[in-house]
Amino acid sequence: MKKNIIEKLLIFGIMLLLFGVNYGVGLGNNMDNKSNRTNEPISSLALTTDWWVMFHHDPGHTGYSTSTAPNTNTVLWTFNTGLEMSGSPSVVDGKVYVGSWDKKIYCLDANTGSKLWEYLTGLEITSSPAVAEGKVYIGSNDGKLYCLDAMSGGKIWNYTTGSDVVSSPTVFEGKVYVGSRDHKVYCLDANSGTKIWEYATGDDIISSPAVYHGMVYIGSWDDKVYCLNASNGVWIWDYTTSNDIYSSPATADNNVFIGSSDNKVYCLNALTGAKLWDYATGASIESSPAVANGKVYVGSFDNTLYCLDAATGDKIWDFQAADFFYSSPAVADGKVYAGSFDHKIYCFNAETGAPIWSHTSGYIVWASPAVAEGRVYIGSGDHKVYCFMDPNTPPNPPAAPNGPENGFMNIEYNFSTNTTDNDGDDVFYFFDWGDDTNSSWLGPYPSGVVASTSHTWTAAGDFSVKVKAKDTLGAESNWSAIHSITIAQRPILEIQTITGGLFKVKTSIKNIGDAPATNINWSITLVGGAWIGKVTTGKIISLGVGEERTISSKLILGFGKTVVTVTAEVLDSATERSQNGTILLFFIRL
């Protein structure tokens, strides 16, 4: 009886094959190796830095930075340009941009002072650069405003005015504002250099425009301070002093602060231009005021740096040098920095005016300082750019690498560490894996933040892993304590192509690793279509390196679509492979 049933089934199956019945056989050959591993790459972490992006720091020209600032006159580096400098550097994304009377703008590495690029204009540069959206803007005495690529120094565009551009550009919301000695204020499109508007004053403009609450403020040699609409250049108000204005306005608390050659500092209402107060010094003021924490700081040609109450104009303190202050002061970290014609760069206590330090350069200091990332940058008449910072100390030795103590060849393992830098500098890490390879420098990471990376050993043995750190100035720590790891050879299993046929499916398992495999558990599972033989399991006692062993399922009967999955496990790893197919009673088509 059973024999007759089997014969009828065989005949029926053959008929199906002859008539070519195909019930949507899936022919995909998808291999799913589940030994995938994840790796979290080291990446540079974005930090919030108060960069000095233009003359007097920001569009409002406050001259104030939230950066830390040096307490000592330690010179980190100097860079020689071809001639004097009278503008201010800008410091953005670890680069220093500065113009020189040698007709060039320079881009320097902020950590080392090494030159990254230079660009030659037609005449002296007394303007200060502004940096925004990957572009550098600067004026030249050749009458042009230049826009350069911040990374390469390549020219993007230039705009020609009617005379020298001594004024420093201000960039705000896609527009560039700048004055010219052709008496005009210009507003240009920051991307294209197309003129949006211009406004003519009565004389040369040396002053640099401040942009504040939708208005542009600027001084002119016609003795006036102007307030213009930033969008269209329409005049809103002007205020007349008693002499030329070289000084650039500073803005804060709805007030405008500016010096004049009539020896006075003025405080004007930003909306109406009404004078709130003035303070008379002993000589012309060509320095631009800085405003911070309710105080106004400004230098005078009477050799004095003044600190005034921003609300009343009352003098809080002053300091007299041996020659006049043309330099515009910078305020940061409770300190005031300014240069003098007496060749010195000064640092004062911002509250009391007490001198903290000074440094004597080789000639008069026309230029104005910039403060960023705990450093002061300033040019001098001795042709040098100076970078000051407090003495640097290396990071502390990192913690011993944290990771596994045992592993196998050709498997990726994760390790982590961290350390602190006493100066608060960002930190790079360098892992030595003990196999004549290393991670190279990874980072930077903020001080104290855990850093992670991974490594794969390609040989068996005992390895000593260690790590060291360095700060952004290149000061290196000592090596960490050793972390030991033992790497062993291991088998790696690979499932070959799965084949179908009468009653069974077959495949083979190959050891592609570098150690023999023992006690390999395997399974063949059919999901869908199978009536008999849904799961087959087995064990391979031993499989040498490079050896391959065939495995097959139990007898299978069924009808319809199926998914055949083969798995193999050895030690702590598993691999599997799946393939779609169709069961036609006793014939498995894959």
Which position has the higher pLDDT, 464 or 516?
464
Contact assessment for residue 234 and residue 198, using Cβ atoms and an 8 Å cutoff = no
Q: What was the pLDDT predicted at 41?
A: 27
Q: Comparing C-alpha atoms, which of 188, 184, 192, 117 is closest to residue 150?
A: 117
- Of the pLDDT bands very low, low, confident and very high (cuts 50, 70, 90), residue 572 is low
**pLDDT, tens digit (0-9, with 9 covering 90-100), for 346-364:** 999 999 999 999 999 999 9
Q: What average pLDDT does range 212-221 have in this prediction?
A: 98
- Of the pLDDT bands very low, low, confident and very high (cuts 50, 70, 90), residue 46 is very low
Q: Which amino acid belongs to residue 392? A: N
pLDDT at 573 over 90: no
CA gap 437, 464 in Å, rounded: 12
pLDDT at 232 over 90: yes
Cα distances from 539 to residues 106, 522, 526, 577, in angstroms, run 72, 6, 18, 17
pTM of the model: 0.70
| Domains within the chain, CATH numbers bracketed | 2-30+490-589 (2.60.40.10), 64-389 (2.130.10.10), 406-488 (2.60.40.10)
The whole-chain average pLDDT of the chain stands at 91
Q: Comparing C-alpha atoms, which of 173, 83, 57 is closest to residue 384?
A: 83
Instruction: Tally the residues of the chain.
Output: 590
Write phi, then psi, for 135 (nearest 5 degrees): -125, 150
Q: What average pLDDT does range 477-482 have in this prediction?
A: 98
**pLDDT, tens digit (0-9, with 9 covering 90-100), for 96-129:** 999 999 999 999 999 999 999 999 999 999 999 9
Q: For residue 291, what is the DSSP state?
A: E
**pLDDT, tens digit (0-9, with 9 covering 90-100), for 487-540:** 998 888 999 999 999 999 999 999 998 889 999 999 999 999 999 999 999 999
**pLDDT, tens digit (0-9, with 9 covering 90-100), for 269-325:** 999 999 999 999 999 999 999 999 999 999 999 999 999 999 999 999 999 999 999
**pLDDT, tens digit (0-9, with 9 covering 90-100), for 439-451:** 999 999 999 999 9
Name which of 43-52, 450-459, 551-560 the model is least confident about: 43-52
Show Cβ contacts of residue 19 under 8 Å, excluding neighbours closer than 6 positions. none
Tokens of 351: 């509250």
CA gap 239, 512 in Å, rounded: 85
CA gap 308, 320 in Å, rounded: 15
**pLDDT, tens digit (0-9, with 9 covering 90-100), for 191-215:** 999 999 999 999 999 999 999 999 9
- Verify cis geometry, omega within 30 degrees of 0, for the bond prior to 444: yes
Q: Mapping DSSP to helix (H, G, I), strand (E, B) and coil, where does residue 13 land?
A: helix
Which position has the higher pLDDT, 275 or 1?
275
Q: What was the pLDDT predicted at 54?
A: 97
Show Cβ contacts of residue 49 under 8 Å, excluding neighbours closer than 6 positions. 67, 372, 373
Q: What was the pLDDT predicted at 389?
A: 93
Q: What was the pLDDT predicted at 489?
A: 86
CA gap 474, 417 in Å, rounded: 19
In the chain, the percentage of residues whose pLDDT exceeds 70 is: 92
Q: What was the pLDDT predicted at 474?
A: 84
Q: Residue 119, Cα to own-chain centre: how many angstroms? A: 24
Contact assessment for residue 152 and residue 159, using Cβ atoms and an 8 Å cutoff = no
Q: What was the pLDDT predicted at 47?
A: 44
